[in-house]
Structure 1
Amino acid sequence: MAYDPTKYKQESIVSWNSRARDYHDGWAGAGRGPFRSTKELVDAAGILESDFVLDVACGTGAVSKEAFLRLGPSGMLAGIDFARGALRIAKENVPAGHFVEMDAENIGLRARFDKVLCQYALMFFPEPVRVLGELRRLLKKGGRIAVAVHGTAQGVPYFSTIMEPVLKRIPDIRPEGAPTVHRFGNPKDLENALASAGFANVAVRKFVFDYEAGPFSEYWSDYMATTAAAIRSKIEARGSQVVADIKKEAEEKAQRFVKDGKIRFPWDVLVATATSSTTT
């Protein structure tokens, strides 16, 4: 199965529109697990009261809300996302923000910004360096970008505990070359992407958060309903025995993270900052 960027993006839009509310209530809006990075990301951006701020792939507005709290009357916040369902929630969270349905790979903005924020989206862009280059052009001289991504498969066992058994039994479940959640989990890869897009003063910092996934049954149910929503039908199409085998191996892998009957995963997050020029 060949990787088709257009089809991938279309499927992503459908998926995000259908699960935006659950994603916000259970994850982003609640600040659970990796979304404890929201404050760290906004802090790293160094937002001033008068800044014009752009939140790229803003989703349901968790980052936008935190950024807006830093702005004064002369500041402005704009957010773009390709999923209408997510944008509706973002508008609820930040009524004074300016939210536009827009693909990050086809930005039609003319405004210039002091700060650009992007949380947990860069790794999913088919052409991330091209997106970063466009974001650099949208920044004012000396403007700053702050990006958050998930760590490696080893550093984010919430994903890999189930996905590794899935890939072992269904290696073709995702097209070769398709973006993955761990795409920029290596700090050097993230640093190189920003540098390749022309950014200067690149710095990457790692945070380790924790996420309580509950007992295994709860973790499995949550993962299949959210993280694996786009591929769940493909997994189940392989038959009940394959699903049972995946579930059994995943439960065995999860045991080392169990404390008091509940799974507590560590969660690596990388936060990178850079400037549009050598001027800081």
Structure 2
Amino acid sequence: MQTHGSDRRFGEDIATLYQDLLVPLIFAPYARDLASRLASLPAGRVLELAAGTGAVTRELSARLPPGAEIVATDLNETMLAVAQRQGTPGPVVWQQADAMALPFDDASFDAVACQFGTMFFPDKAQAFAEARRVLRPGGTLLFSVWDRIETNDFAWVIQEAVAGVFPEDPPRFLERLPHGYCARDAIARDLAQGGFRGPPAIRTVVAESAAATPAIPAAAYCQGTPLRNEIVARDATRLEAATEAAIAAIAARFGTGRVTGRIQALVVGIAR
């Protein structure tokens, strides 16, 4: 999969909008799902990779039994700063870390979790190898990735609307990265290359995304993700035009008031 430097830049503006708009729009239901799965495991010490602004971290802190230790990491310190400002019900260790070179001892965690971050790892097999290394024997790696963009209503409609603003060079960040790692055979292959044995359990999880107005998903995707970087790189004066095009497209498809759309992801689990 092709990668671009702008794909991984989450500056302060993007991180704040990500937390305020994207987390309640699309991440919250999957954070609850992932945390509930982890809470059913014997996990006294949990490592979270690519924690972002802490959607899963907060759920884990609320759901794991007293005494469980959570270490939440992300490569982007700006995202972690926003996460820490949100607070958590219980204690969390926050640490900047690269998923492909984890600064932790071998066999030091009962579970490793990652919500919608795996797609951003440049070398997924290496990241999986690192996750396996820090897992104790019998420990679990559990992560989620978005399914195809066509199965995620708002993302699909917004990508096509923004493409219409830049027809000669349409931004494809959403399809290329967040929705670009959903082939089950590729996931299984990368896990095997990372040292995991046996087939992973891969489940399709469908949920609903809802917003009070079409402007919320439009701003969330156009200004709260690195899609913003692609728009600005083409023409910095057209960020608002791209957002307005997304608003119009959402309104045309889902209505001008409260809007709801399908979201779909894959949840992957495998034991060490």
Q: Is 1:85 paired with 2:83?
A: no
**What's the offset of the Cα at 1:18?**
3.4
Are the equivalent residues in 1 in contact too, given 2:54–2:83 (CA < 8 A)?
yes
Counterpart in the other structure of 1:38: 31
SS of the residue 1:211 aligns to: strand
**What's the offset of the Cα at 1:40?**
1.1
**What's the offset of the Cα at 1:45?**
2.9
**What's the offset of the Cα at 1:59?**
1.3
SS of the residue 1:144 aligns to: strand
What is the distance in 2 between the residues matched to 1:26 and 1:250? 14
Are the equivalent residues in 1 in contact too, given 2:188–2:199 (CA < 8 A)?
no
Counterpart in the other structure of 2:200: 202
Deviations 1:222-271 (A, max 9, x none): 4322133222213435979xx57x9669845763433x744322111111
TM-score (norm 2): 0.81
**What's the offset of the Cα at 1:217?**
4.5
Match of 2:101 among 103, 106, 116: 106
- Percent identical across equivalent pairs? 23
Counterpart in the other structure of 1:62: 55
Distance change >3 Å, CA 223–CA 70, structure 1 → 2: closer
One-letter code aligned to 1:39: R
One-letter code aligned to 1:154: E
Counterpart in the other structure of 2:148: 152
What is the distance in 2 between the residues matched to 1:170 and 1:255? 24
Counterpart in the other structure of 1:134: 130
* Cα RMSD for the two superposed structures: 3.2
Counterpart in the other structure of 1:161: 157
What are the ranges of 5 or more consecutive residues in structure 2 without an aligned counterpart?
Answer: none
Counterpart in the other structure of 1:231: 230
What is the distance in 2 between the residues matched to 1:253 and 1:98? 39
One-letter code aligned to 1:114: D
Q: Is 1:20 paired with 2:19?
A: no
SS of the residue 1:103 aligns to: coil
Deviations 1:11-34 (A, max 9, x none): 724x24433233223232x4x334
Are the equivalent residues in 2 in contact too, given 1:57–1:119 (CA < 8 A)?
yes
Structure 1: which 4+ aligned runs deviate by more than 6 Å? none
Match of 1:269 among 250, 265, 272: 265
SS of the residue 1:230 aligns to: helix
SS of the residue 2:51 aligns to: coil
SS of the residue 1:192 aligns to: helix
TM-score (norm 1): 0.79
